[in-house]
């Protein structure tokens, strides 16, 4: 029996999407994207260092690239944009390709941490959906190209008595003590990510997720302080495997793809269902996009750009999404992405959900207040 794809998605109206289908079969024809094999392999460096989010690529692709082009990939992972930034600011110069999110791209451009790229060297950029090009955080894609995108919502354990009748369709399920005390024993996880956690609190309070007003941020800090005693863990790195799939928690703030991974990893042919569902809170949620960029300190820009072009190939882009369960900004890849993923509203949200999503943006000087709040939250 083939996998069935079921993700519960909640907006103002709750709906369940269940669809079936086999593994993605693209057309039998050659990929429409240009192959990345035009570069003279002799000009490529022997090694390339790639720094990415945890569990965010099918490492088979890296092995294929190594084999095809004779470039050894040194691969390392980080847990948050802030960790990535701290590493670069601490003077780490070894990284060539990095994968910051939207607001962090803007921050890094301002800090001079990213190299400029020439899109003529990335012919597979033509595969990227127009809607994801030329984003405000990097006009004309002068520094980065889109990698994957998603949303931030709530993953919850199917079958938990409290969530069978009512899905946790509000950030209240993360912040309100009278709700938390009903399932805290089963375990609650939040993302160890300052922009994401404070943004969730701001959404719940009816403020902008990019607020820089001190009073609003203090309100968010206090809301979090009241809820924190009920939370078991702050984990944004391996929570899908170590907490959700392992049944160590019953509810978690979650990125869309990680929730889908938990669903499929617990899927049973017998029940035709998985153990984890995903809800987008009705107060609003974050939509984000991660990007492939070259560091300003890289001495292997040509190889870095060649590798980026390889990842933007239609079939390779699909292999990434089929592994991570995150949405792809690669339009040409859709022909090779599993139909169950493409039709999942938890991964590709429908327009009425999209309308309730917001991007995180650069905070400018407001960042100092956010840092202060985060230090207080983590120190409490
Ligand atoms: N496990 C991979 C997670 C990648 C998530 N990137 C999210 C960035 C949101 N600000």
CA distance 359 to 114: 21
Average pLDDT over every residue of 10-29:
31
Beta strands in 136-284 (DSSP E): 144-157, 188-190, 233-234, 251-255, 276-279
CA of 53 to the centre of ligand 1 (A): 7
Cβ(310) – ligand 1 distance below 6 Å = no
What is the DSSP secondary structure assignment for residue 243, as one 8-state letter? I
- Ordered DSSP codes for 105-163: HHHHHHTT-B----GGG-GGGGGB-GGGSS-TTSGGGSSEEEEEEEEEEEEEETT-HHH
Is the beta carbon of 79 within 6 A of some atom in ligand 1?
A: no
CA of 284 to the centre of ligand 1 (A): 18
Q: How far apart are CA 132 and CA 249, in angstroms?
A: 34
**Distance separating alpha carbons of residues 153 and 279, to the nearest angstrom:** 6
Domain boundaries, the chain: 41-149+288-348, 152-287+357-379
Mean pLDDT confidence for 70-92? 94
pLDDT of residue 177: 98
pLDDT of residue 92: 76
Taking the centre of ligand 1 as the mean of its atom positions, its distance from the CA of residue 102, in whole angstroms, is 11
Joined together, the tokens standing for residue 177 give: 């003590």
pLDDT band per the 50, 70, 90 thresholds, residue 7? very low
Measured CA to CA, the distance from residue 370 to residue 361 in angstroms comes to 13
CB 257 within 8 A of CB 152: no
Q: Determine whether domain 152-287+357-379 maps to CATH 3.40.190.10.
A: yes
| pLDDT of amino acid 91 | 79
Q: Relative to the CA of 102, which ligand 1 atom is closest?
A: 10
Q: Is 56 in the pocket of ligand 1 (CB under 6 A)?
A: yes
Pocket test for ligand 1, best of 85, 151, 288 (most atoms within 8 A of CB): 288
CB 101 within 8 A of CB 289: yes
Region 41-149+288-348: CATH code: 3.40.190.10
pLDDT of residue 94: 87
Cα 81 to averaged position of ligand 1 atoms, centre (Å): 9
Pairing between β-strand 285-294 and β-strand 144-157 as defined by DSSP bridges: antiparallel
Task: Output 13 or 44, whichever has higher pLDDT.
Answer: 44
pLDDT tier at 19, thresholds 50, 70, 90: very low
For the CA of 55, the nearest atom of ligand 1: 1
pLDDT, residue 42, reads 54
Which uninterrupted H or E stretch holds 102?
Answer: helix 102-110
Distance CA(62)–CA(56), nearest Å, equals: 12
Of 178, 169, 189, 177, nearest in space to 247 by CA: 189
The model's confidence at residue 26, banded by pLDDT at 50, 70 and 90, is very low
**Residue whose CA is at the smallest distance from ligand 1 atom 9:** 288
Q: Is 101 in the pocket of ligand 1 (CB under 6 A)?
A: yes
* % of the chain residues with pLDDT over 70: 89
Can you give the pLDDT at residue 93? 76
Which atom, in ligand 1's list, is nearest to the CA of 360? Answer: 10
Determine which residue's CA is closest to atom 4 belonging to ligand 1. Answer: 53
For 327-344, write each residue's pLDDT tens digit. 999 999 999 999 999 999
Ligand 1: does its nearest atom lie under 6 Å from the Cβ of 103? no
Pocket test for ligand 1, best of 150, 153, 286 (most atoms within 8 A of CB): 150
Instruction: Pick the atom of ligand 1 nearest to 80's CA.
Output: 8
Query: To test ligand 1's pocket by mutation, which of 255, 323, 362 has the most ligand atoms within 8 angstroms of CB?
Result: 255
Which helix or strand (DSSP H or E) is residue 213 part of? Answer: none
| Other CB atoms within 10 A of residue 312 CB | 28
> Which amino acid residue places its CA nearest to atom 3 of ligand 1?
53
Please tell me the predicted confidence (pLDDT) of residue 2: 32
Say whether pLDDT at 33 is over 70.
no
- Domains 41-149+288-348 and 152-287+357-379 fall in the same CATH topology: yes
Number of H helices, E strands in the chain: 15, 12
pLDDT by residue (tens digit) across 269-327? 999 999 999 999 999 999 999 999 999 999 999 999 999 999 999 999 999 999 999 99
CA 207 distance to own-chain centroid: 23
Q: Is 141 in the pocket of ligand 1 (CB under 6 A)?
A: no
Q: Which atom of ligand 1 is nearest to the CA of 56?
A: 2
Is residue 71 over pLDDT 90?
Answer: yes
């Amino acid at each position: 029996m083939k996998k069935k794809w079921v993700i519960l998605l909640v907006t103002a109206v709750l709906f369940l999407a269940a669809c079936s289908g086999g593994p993605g079969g693209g057309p039998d024809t050659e990929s429409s994207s240009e192959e990345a094999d035009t570069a003279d392999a002799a000009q490529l460096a022997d090694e390339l260092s790639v720094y990415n989010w945890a569990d965010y690529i099918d490492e088979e692709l890296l092995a294929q690239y190594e084999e095809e082009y004779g470039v050894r990939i040194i691969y390392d992972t980080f847990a948050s944009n802030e960790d990535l930034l701290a590493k670069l600011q601490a003077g780490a110069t070894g990284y060539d390709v990095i994968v910051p999110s939207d607001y962090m791209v803007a921050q890094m451009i301002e800090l001079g941490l990213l190299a400029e790229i020439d899109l003529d060297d990335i012919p597979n950029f033509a595969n990227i959906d127009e809607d994801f090009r030329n984003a405000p955080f990097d006009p004309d894609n002068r520094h980065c190209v889109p990698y994957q995108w998603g949303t931030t919502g709530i993953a919850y354990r199917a079958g938990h008595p409290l969530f069978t009748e009512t899905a946790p369709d509000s950030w209240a399920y993360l912040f309100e003590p009278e709700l938390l005390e009903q399932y805290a024993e089963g375990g609650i996880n939040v993302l160890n990510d300052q922009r994401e956690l404070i943004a969730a609190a701001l959404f719940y309070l009816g403020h902008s997720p990019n607020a820089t007003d001190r009073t609003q941020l203090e309100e968010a800090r206090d809301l979090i302080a009241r809820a924190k005693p009920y939370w078991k863990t702050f984990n944004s790195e391996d929570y899908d495997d170590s907490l959700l799939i392992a049944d160590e928690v019953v509810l978690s703030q979650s990125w869309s793809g990680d929730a889908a991974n938990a669903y499929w990893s617990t899927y049973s042919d017998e029940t035709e269902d998985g153990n984890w569902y995903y809800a987008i809170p009705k107060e609003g949620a974050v939509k984000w996009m991660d990007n492939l960029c070259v560091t300003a300190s890289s001495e292997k820009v040509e190889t870095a750009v060649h590798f980026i072009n390889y990842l933007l190939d239609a079939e390779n882009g699909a292999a990434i999404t089929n592994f991570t369960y995150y949405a792809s900004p690669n339009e040409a890849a859709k022909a090779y992405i599993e139909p169950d993923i493409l039709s999942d509203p938890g991964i590709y949200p429908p327009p009425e959900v999209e309308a309730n999503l917001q991007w995180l943006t650069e905070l400018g000087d407001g960042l100092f207040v956010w840092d202060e709040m985060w230090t207080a939250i983590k120190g409490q």
